[in-house]
Amino acid sequence: MWSHEDSGAPESAGAPQKRQLRVWPAVVLVGVLVAIVALGLDDYLSFETLRDNREALIAWVERVGWAAVVAFIGIYALTVAVSLPAGALLTLTAGFLFGPVLGTIAVVCGATAGATAIFLAARTAFGRMLRTRAGQSIDRVASGFEEDAFSYLLTLRLIPIFPFWLVNIAPAFTRISVRSYVVATGLGIIPATIVYALIGNGLGAVLDAGESPKLDVLFDPAVLLPITGLAVLSLLPVVYRRFRRRRNATGEQQPFQAAPSGTSSASVRGTAER
């Protein structure tokens, strides 16, 4: 829920300072992104880097053990938080280094943490301000999403129609709870993560053959149709609630009662004349 700061009441003397504090998380994320790009660190997030350093990476994972998993989760979370387009590559890397099961767990943890970080930063910095200035117009648009926020967000996560970074940020301007956001994100990215982690698990043979992995496999009908089916199932609660609400609204409308069957129109008119 939003606090009383959104109610349109006059701002206190300390309101500007509070606004500045709310903007800082977003400023930090933008600053980290600028630093990564300026230092050229994003150039290392490439398939060529993975191919050229795979033996060193495997040796590092074997040497440090679980610390490698924790470090990977942190790197994935940071990458998502600053919206670097490296999710597919990192998911392949997770499957390659940790196997499909542990790799999927690491990716889901890192991606969910990073998505939650940018969601909270956007909500803290801009969410309240935009809703206050937009007023009822955005409230009407957001109300439908907020009512079934979990189902809608789960569907958006299951089917990659929109960019991942956009789905991370857009709910920040609604009243979806953090818990619903985290759970829907974590569950929604599991199917696609499993697919890419499985591809990454066999990446060694692909690299030995001098080939590149096929990243468009997610849009293969054999893969896309089951995921679409899950998305449709996630919308069933929305459809049921809308149907039940409409049925209840229809039942509340009381029709005019007809006259008793034994009363003729002539007797009614006679009664009226008297």
Which pLDDT tens digit goes with each residue over 46-92? 888 888 899 999 999 999 999 999 999 999 999 999 999 898 999 99
Whether 73 maps to a domain, the answer reads yes
Kindly state whether residue 258 falls inside one of the protein's structural domains: no
Residue 8 lies in a domain: no
Amino acid present at 70:
V
Q: What is the pLDDT of residue 172?
A: 86
- Full domain range(s) for residue 126: 13-249
C-alpha dist (Å) from residue 117 to 14, 55, 65, 73: 26, 32, 26, 13
pLDDT in tens, 249-274: 666 655 544 445 554 445 444 444 44
Whether residue 161 lies inside any domain: the answer is yes
Residue 182 covered by a domain: yes
119: number of Cβ within 10 Å: 23
Residues 6+ apart with CB under 8 A from 92: 50, 196, 197, 199, 200, 203, 213, 215
Whether the CB-CB separation of 181 and 87 falls below 8 Å is answered with no
Q: What is the pLDDT of residue 4?
A: 41
Domain assignment present for residue 124? The answer is: yes
Q: What is the CA radius of gyration of the chain?
A: 27
Q: With 0-12 CB in 10 A as exposed, 13-18 as middle and 19+ as buried, what is 17? A: exposed
Tell me the H-state helices in the chain.
15-38, 47-52, 54-64, 66-81, 87-122, 128-134, 136-147, 149-158, 164-169, 178-188, 190-201, 203-208, 221-252, 265-273
Confirm whether 70 is domain-assigned: yes
Counting as low any pLDDT under 70, the low residues of the chain are 1-20, 127-145, 212, 215-224, 237-238, 240-245, 247, 249-274
The pLDDT, as a whole number, for residue 128 is 64
Quote the pLDDT of residue 82.
92
Is 263 a domain residue? no
Q: List CB contacts of 188: < 8 A, sequence separation 6 or more.
A: 153, 154, 155, 156, 157, 158
Question: What is the C-alpha to C-alpha distance for residues 67 and 200, in angstroms, rounded to an integer?
Answer: 20
What pLDDT does residue 231 have? 73
Rounded to a whole number of angstroms, the distance between the first and last alpha carbons of the chain is 63
Domain total of the chain = 1
Interatomic CA distance for residues 35 and 29, integer angstroms: 10
